[in-house]
Structure 1
Amino acid sequence: MEKNHLNYLRGCAESFKRSFNMRVLADDTEIKEAYKTAQERGKVPFNRTKVLILGDHGAGKTSTCRRFRDKDFRPEEPSTIGIETNTVQAKVSDVNSKWCEVTNTPLEDYESSAAWWTVSRVLKQSKHKLSKALLSFAAPILGFIIYEWHSYMKVKSTSSIPVVHIRKSMKADLRNECYIDARLSLWDFAGQEMYYNTHHLFMPKQGVYLVVFNAVAAISNPHRHIKRLQFWLQSIAMHVDIENVVVFLVGTRRGSVRDGNAFSTFERFVNAHLYKRFSKLLAFHPSGRLCFFIENAFNVDKELNILRERIYNEVTKLKYFCEMFSVKYLLFKNTLNGFRHRQCIVASVNDIVNELKLTSKIFVEYEVRELLNFFDKSGDIIYNELDELLQNYVVCDPQVLIDILKLLVNVPEPHNRNRFVSDLWQRLLETGIVDSRLLEHICRIKGIWRVYPYVIRYLVGTQLMFPLTITNQVDQVGTFCLPCKLPKIELKQREFDYIDHTSDIFYFDFGEMLLEFVFLRLIAKCCNVFDWNNIYYNCARFRASETCFFQINTDTVSSGSIFLYDRNLIKLSVSKEIPSQSVNILQKILTSVEEIIKQTFNPDYFRENYLCGPVCERCSSLDGTMCLVNLVGISKDASALNEYRVDEYHKVYREREFSFTCSRPLTT
């Protein structure tokens, strides 16, 4: 055997720089030292994202999710109930390949990430890069096999470094690839209206959103579907950080559209009515279109591969995807699996911290918070650092929480109910009131009844429920209101209507935005401050004092055109028994709305798109539409409102009661 071949096989020439042999790598001191450093302070790119699939019922969301994972198309796909989650990995080297189910253990993820950092550091310090030519050396086959067997026997039990991952990472570097695959957490959202008000809890500020629609139905009725696409885009825009999100419009059933020109016609509608409003969110097809039209029934669909590739290319441009995090954070997956194994789907941060000290050697508080945010972004947990209550809890298994919400929102038919809690189910169905005994029953079904008080606290913290009567704070025994299940009421046919004639009226104008998300949380906040008389899905009455009551309800101003969007309003009516109370109540409601927006949604987006104040009849008459005297941003000190100039024409007064003047000329 030639001497240079023997040197290569034995690793005697420049050690790791000239060999991928596992024995050489296991014996290399520099690699061992670098790997030890990686375990302590190595960093890896985040390389993870949620892919959230939204759209109307029957649009083809679940089929699209299945085809992303290279699963067969099912013509009779059952409807999704709630949200279904799947985590897949995307090969960086081939983004057109199927997205595989994640099979790596947490330890393998940790070792492969540490190996990637090790190789990056060693090669960065080296003067010479590995050469592709070294992969194609010629050596006697028998000698090579014998030596490889001897090397394997030496390293198979080594525990100092993960030799296999080091070797693979070095080979990936030769191909100018990252050894770490991207992790995509697919969230398939149900399209039924009953679930809309629970979806917000699972819509992150960063990630990839797919708005899926039926292309056949959209082409046959473009006006309706433009409004539905606008609905979903509004829902996304309300929640997200613009710099860290990208949205794809995906039309399914392309093969069922016979007229090829129909796609272009619908595209023109989309460009005319959606692009200007949502240009910062939307991604383009390589051909320059805004929509990606796919066919899930095809075994191989070129357009689906293009969509998959564009998703990966766009997500790599997002700021959060490339952020660097500590390698040791990945050991938290073992801790997380331990909580799940013990069926602790909601755990306190203190419990998490105690486990981390033992398993991941993480002791500093800011590292704990950073770690929890890391896994919240990746979709492994749910954690909200900004909320005063929720920052103390971690949802270790989001899917179980989703399953609990499924049962609450989708009340089972009478014949499917446990007879011992059948009356509690019926009460929820008729009134929207949840008894803690019903939640305990649901948690028993899921095998997590020991943590049901944590589940209740979390649902209250997210404002999906709010307490009505609590008899035991520790075990959260009592009754709660589930706003999304409250019955609706016809205002003009009930006692609520007469209040307008003797009240000060103010409006919160959310324009095209979806006000139910805000309104139902506003009811919860008002119940914490005021005594409530009646509560419905679209209306609630409260008592501020013995002689002063007020009402909030939803309202809509029709645009009168299929090309324009209706204005969505929350109406506040305050009785005039105590004139000075109107402004005080208005300011409390304003403060509550601001808190809801700040805690749950994108404040910048709302700040640009909503108004609050009384109607100015003169301006409304001149402009031919409802015009408000905008009081958003007024001082919390009510006395400052006296002679407060709102804009060029309007001045507000507050002496004995609230009033304003308008100096706008009747003619221009």
Structure 2
Amino acid sequence: MRGENPQHSNEDITFIWDFAGQQLYYITHRIFLTSEAVYLILFSLKEGMHNKGKRRFSKMAKYVMTYDMTNIQIIKYWMRLIYTYAIPVKAQQQLQAKKPQIAVVGTHSDCLEGTKEDKKKQIEEQYGILFQEIRGTPYESHVVRKMYAISNKYASQCKMLKTLKQDVGGFLKEMPKTIPLKWLKFQQILQENGRTSLHMTYAKVCKVATECGISVENLIHTLNYLHDLGIILYFENNRLLKHAVITNPRKLIFILKKIITEVEPDVKAFKSGYLWDSP
């Protein structure tokens, strides 16, 4: 996400959101998807597209657990999710719409076996399966048709990583919008509130907007703009959430982590029967 730094008007800042990949967190992802973003979907080139996705608890984990979906199904799930919740309905009706952009990044290219040509062939086969699978889908036009094969071990020397950074930078530069100065003042007040509070009531936000010279009729456009940047969260079409504006999205993430937390199971406790003890 791209936004302007109020203290340095000639500089740009980029907000990076790292979504939890575990299926347990899937229900929360839609809250943070916006159209004003570039999405990177990562997968391991070491694993086949039609193999069950693998999940490692940590580098020290002695075992590996798998997802219920294959790697290609997981990638397509993310694409459908982005298309459904991050792309406005009007844009969905325009089949040639390409915003937001989705780049699929293959990691661990340095772990592939064989010669340089063998590795290139394996990468092309993986992406070939992917591009064939999404052919004819409504989200196909949003997917960047490049094979971003990244080396994790030699990241500083990876030319494709530099290409990816340049491409993402180019996508972001195409997104800026000209906004009224009063929107910036309004944004600063909401962000200041977010330092001490999770949210503001919609009624209070309306009052702040009026003081900033923003009419109630135009307020929704301002809120949608800030929502797309990830600065606030507001859901006008949700019956329960439309009465509040989340001014601190990060704090909301921490709350969700408290409610939904995936931890490494204690195998020893399970074997000893402790996990079956009643409270």
Percent identical among aligned pairs is 22
Cα distance between partner residues in 1 of 2:263 and 2:109: 36
Q: Call closer, same or farther: CA 1:378–1:406 in 2, change over 3 Å.
A: same
Q: Call closer, same or farther: CA 1:255–1:220 in 2, change over 3 Å.
A: farther
Instruction: Find the residue that maps to 2:134 and give its secondary structure.
Output: helix
Counterpart AA for 1:254:
S
Cα distance between partner residues in 1 of 2:32 and 2:83: 14
1:212 Cα offset (Å): 0.5
1:302 Cα offset (Å): 1.4
Cα distance between partner residues in 1 of 2:220 and 2:15: 21
Cα distance between partner residues in 1 of 2:162 and 2:36: 23
Which protein is richer in strand relative to its size?
1
- 8 Å Cα contact 2:46/2:108 also seen in 1: yes
User: Residue 225 of structure 2: which of 360, 363, 374 is its match?
Assistant: 374
1:226 Cα offset (Å): 2.1
1:345 alignment partner in structure 2: 198
- 8 Å Cα contact 1:222/1:266 also seen in 2: no
Cα distance between partner residues in 2 of 1:411 and 1:195: 9
User: Residue 335 of structure 1: which of 185, 189, 195 is its match?
Assistant: 189
Normalised by the size of structure 2, how large is the TM-score? 0.73
1:309 alignment partner in structure 2: 166
Cα distance between partner residues in 1 of 2:193 and 2:23: 33
1:356 Cα offset (Å): 4.0
Cα distance between partner residues in 2 of 1:411 and 1:322: 37
1:348 Cα offset (Å): 0.7
Cα distance between partner residues in 2 of 1:338 and 1:272: 47
1:254 Cα offset (Å): 1.2
Structure 1 residue 228 corresponds to structure 2 residue 79: no
1:207 Cα offset (Å): 2.5
- 8 Å Cα contact 2:36/2:229 also seen in 1: no
Cα distance between partner residues in 2 of 1:275 and 1:312: 26
Instruction: Find the residue that maps to 1:410 and give its secondary structure.
Output: coil
- 8 Å Cα contact 1:381/1:397 also seen in 2: yes
User: In the TM superposition, what whole-angstrom CA distance separates every residue of 1:160-211 from its partner, at most 9, and x where no partner exists?
Assistant: xxxxxxxxxxxxxxxxxxx453x43211011111111121222224422111
Structure 1 residue 293 corresponds to structure 2 residue 153: no
Q: Call closer, same or farther: CA 1:380–1:305 in 2, change over 3 Å.
A: same
2:110 alignment partner in structure 1: 255
1:265 alignment partner in structure 2: 125
User: In the TM superposition, what whole-angstrom CA distance separates every residue of 1:492-533 from its partner, at most 9, and x where no partner exists?
Assistant: xxxxxxxxxxxxxxxxxxxxxxxxxxxxxxxxxxxxxxxxxx
Counterpart AA for 1:281:
H
1:577 alignment partner in structure 2: none
Cα distance between partner residues in 1 of 2:252 and 2:123: 40
1:276 Cα offset (Å): 3.1
1:61 alignment partner in structure 2: none
User: Per chain length, whose mean CA-contact separation is higher, i.e. which structure has more relative contact order (CA < 8 Å, sep 6+)?
Assistant: 2
Cα distance between partner residues in 2 of 1:194 and 1:262: 31
- 8 Å Cα contact 1:294/1:304 also seen in 2: yes
Cα distance between partner residues in 1 of 2:228 and 2:132: 33
2:145 alignment partner in structure 1: 284
Structure 1 residue 406 corresponds to structure 2 residue 257: yes
Instruction: Find the residue that maps to 1:276 and give its secondary structure.
Output: coil
Q: Call closer, same or farther: CA 1:292–1:222 in 2, change over 3 Å.
A: farther
User: In the TM superposition, what whole-angstrom CA distance separates every residue of 1:315-370 from its partner, at most 9, and x where no partner exists?
Assistant: 444xxx243311221122431233123x2211112222333444xx3241133322
1:214 Cα offset (Å): 0.8
Counterpart mapping for 1:52-67 below 5 A = none
1:228 Cα offset (Å): 2.5
Counterpart AA for 1:200:
R
Counterpart AA for 1:347:
M
1:599 alignment partner in structure 2: none
Structure 1 unaligned spans of 5+: 1-47, 50-88, 90-101, 113-178, 286-290, 414-429, 431-668
Q: Call closer, same or farther: CA 1:267–1:348 in 2, change over 3 Å.
A: same
Q: Call closer, same or farther: CA 1:250–1:412 in 2, change over 3 Å.
A: closer
Structure 1 residue 201 corresponds to structure 2 residue 31: yes
Q: Call closer, same or farther: CA 1:207–1:363 in 2, change over 3 Å.
A: closer
Q: Call closer, same or farther: CA 1:353–1:300 in 2, change over 3 Å.
A: farther
Structure 2 unaligned spans of 5+: 54-69, 265-278
Normalised by the size of structure 1, how large is the TM-score? 0.32
1:651 alignment partner in structure 2: none
User: In the TM superposition, what whole-angstrom CA distance separates every residue of 1:567-588 from its partner, at most 9, and x where no partner exists?
Assistant: xxxxxxxxxxxxxxxxxxxxxx
Q: Call closer, same or farther: CA 1:219–1:279 in 2, change over 3 Å.
A: closer
Aligned residues: 236
Q: Is the radius of gyration larger for structure 1 or structure 2? A: 1
Q: RMSD of the alignment, in Å?
A: 3.2
Structure 1 residue 393 corresponds to structure 2 residue 273: no
1:159 alignment partner in structure 2: none
Cα distance between partner residues in 2 of 1:377 and 1:240: 9
- 8 Å Cα contact 1:219/1:263 also seen in 2: no
1:394 Cα offset (Å): 0.4
User: In the TM superposition, what whole-angstrom CA distance separates every residue of 1:50-77 from its partner, at most 9, and x where no partner exists?
Assistant: xxxxxxxxxxxxxxxxxxxxxxxxxxxx
Cα distance between partner residues in 2 of 1:363 and 1:237: 31
Q: Call closer, same or farther: CA 1:408–1:302 in 2, change over 3 Å.
A: same
Counterpart mapping for 1:358-507 below 5 A = 358=211, 361-410=212-261
Counterpart AA for 1:354:
K
- 8 Å Cα contact 1:216/1:254 also seen in 2: yes
